[in-house]
Chains A and B, each alone.
Chain A
Amino acid sequence: MTTAPHLACHGVDFAHGPTPVLQGVEVEIPRGEWVGLIGPNGAGKSTLLNLLVGWWRPQRGEIRIAGDPVHRLAPGALARRLAMVPQAAPLVFGHRVADVVAMGRHPHQGALQWTLGPEDRERVALALERADITALAPRRFNELSGGERQLVLIARALAQSTEILLLDEPTASLDLHHQAQIIEVLARLHREEGTTILWVAHDLNLVGRVCQRLVLLAKGCVVADSSPEEILTAERLSQVYETPVTIEVTRDGSRRVEIALPETSHA
C-alpha cells in the first residue's frame, strides 16, 4: 500500500506571463481527508485548482496524485482518479440533466463505446439519487435554478466515481437550503466512500465547521496549514484579509468569523 499523500504539491511556482501567481506552494493531503482551501481574492486558489487537475502545468515544482506526477497521466486516466466541480458550467446546447450527469461516465467508456453500459447507468442513477435530483433528470439543464445546477454538477462528479473530489466554491451564491443539501451530499460521500475532498471556499464559517484542515493561501503562498481552530484566529485573518475580523467561539467549539463593521446609524 502506498504511503504517498493522496494529493501533493511540491515547491509549485506558477506565473501568468511576468506576473507570479503561486510561489513555492507546498501542500500534502492524505487519503480520505477533507481540506478547505481559503484565502482572499487573487490569492491563487483557482490557479492552484487548475494546476491540480493538470489543466495548467507549473513552471517549477510538481503535482502528484498518490505519487504519480499529474502531467504524466493521460486525461482519461486522470479523470478516473480526480473529479472537479466548477463554479459554473455554461451549456450552449439544450442537454438534459441526466445527459449532463451521464457525461461523468465519459472517462470510463472505451474508445469504441458510445453508449452507457449497465454499470454506467447504475452509477448515473446512484449519483442522481445521492444528489437528490432524480426528479430533475428529464429537465433541461439551462432551465434549472443556480442551486439545482450546482447539484447537477456535483452529481456529475459523483457519477465520475473518483477517489478525489475538488470543489471550486460550490455553495457560493446559493440559498441556505441548497447549501445544507450540498454539505449533506459531500459529508455522506466523505463518510461512506472515504473520498479525499479539497474545497475552495470564501465562507470561512462553513469550511471551519465541515473541514478537518484548512490551508490558507495569500499572495500566492501558503501562509498557514492546520486545523480550523488554529487557522481561524482574529489576528491571522485580520492580517491576511486586511480587514478587522472578530472570532466568536460557539458552544460546540467551532469558530464564528465576523467582520468588525463600523457602527451604522440604524445599528
Chain B
Amino acid sequence: MAAYLLRKLRDTIFTLLLVSVIVFIIFALIPGNPARIIAGVNATPEKVAFIEAELGLDQPLPIRFINYLGGLLTGNPGQSLRFNVPVTDLIVDAAPITLGLAFYAFFMVILLAIPLGLIASRRPGGVVDTVIHVVTETTLAIPPFFMAIVLMLLFRVTQADVGGSLSSGEILTFGDHLKMLTLPALAIALSRLAMVVEFLRDALVEESHTDYVRTAKGKGASRMRIRMVHVLRNCLVPTITALGLILAEIIGGSIIIEQVFLLPGLGRLLFTAVEARDFPLVQTIIMLIAVLVVLVNFVVDLLNQFIDPRLRVVQSHSRRHRKYQPTVAAAKKKGNS
C-alpha cells in the first residue's frame, strides 16, 4: 500500500507539473500583452516597458516559468493585475462558493441517482424503468445554463435573489449557502443525473444475473438482502468511477452556471481574469481546479480499492493495468487469471 501511495504521489506531481507547463505556455503564446492592458490605450512604449519589467515579463520564458512555479509552491502566486490584490485573497473569497456549489450538486446527484437506479433496475424494461430513463435523458439533453433559466422561471426566482446581492468576501453561513445554491446546484445535478442513473441501473441489472446472486438465492436470502448486500456492492465500483468523473466535471464546469446566477465564485473570477489577461490569477485558478480534479481521482481510486479487494492486488502488483478505469468486468478478468 505504501509503495502504491508513493507511486500515486509521483504520478500526481507529474500531472500537476504538466498542467502548469501547459497553462503557462498557452498564456505566453496568446496575443494580448498584459502590460499594455494595464497601461491603457494611450500609454507610451516606455511606460509599457516599465510595467513589463515590473511584472517580470521582460525576462526569458524559462525564468518566468520558474518564478511562476516558485510562487505557486510557496503559496504566493503574486498580485492580481486586474484587482491589484493578492491572488490568494481573491481565491479564498471565491472558492467556497464554487466548491459549495460543486459538492451540493454532487450530493444531489448521489441522493437522486442511487434510489432512481435501484428503482429502475427492479423491472428492466418496465414502465418505471422507461419513465426514469426518458426523464433523465431529457434532463441530460437540456444544457445546464438553460435548465438554470427554466428553474428560475419555474420557482419565480431572479438572479438578484440568488447571487446578485452578494458582494465578494462576504461571510456566509451554511444556511445562506444552502438557500443561495439550491437552484444552481439543482441545475447542474439534473444535467449530470442521467449518466449515473444509467450506469448504476445497467450495473444492477447485469449483476443480478450473476452466479453469486444465484448462490445467495440458494442460501434463502431475501430479494432485499440480495440487492443491498450482494448486488449493490458489486455495482459500486463502476458507479463511483462515474461519480468521480462527474465531480471533476462539475468542479470545472460551474463557470457558466455561476454566470447565470451571478454567483461570485471561481468561475466568474476566471472569466474576468481571462478577459483582463490577468495571468497570475488565471494560472492559479486553473492550477487549483487541476489539483481538485486530481484529488478527486485519487479518492475514487482509494474508495474502489476499499470496496473491491481484487483491485488492491492488481494495483500493487501490476503497473501496466494501473491506468485503466477499474471496471467490474476488468476486475473479474484479472480475478480469473
Q: Does A pair with B?
A: no
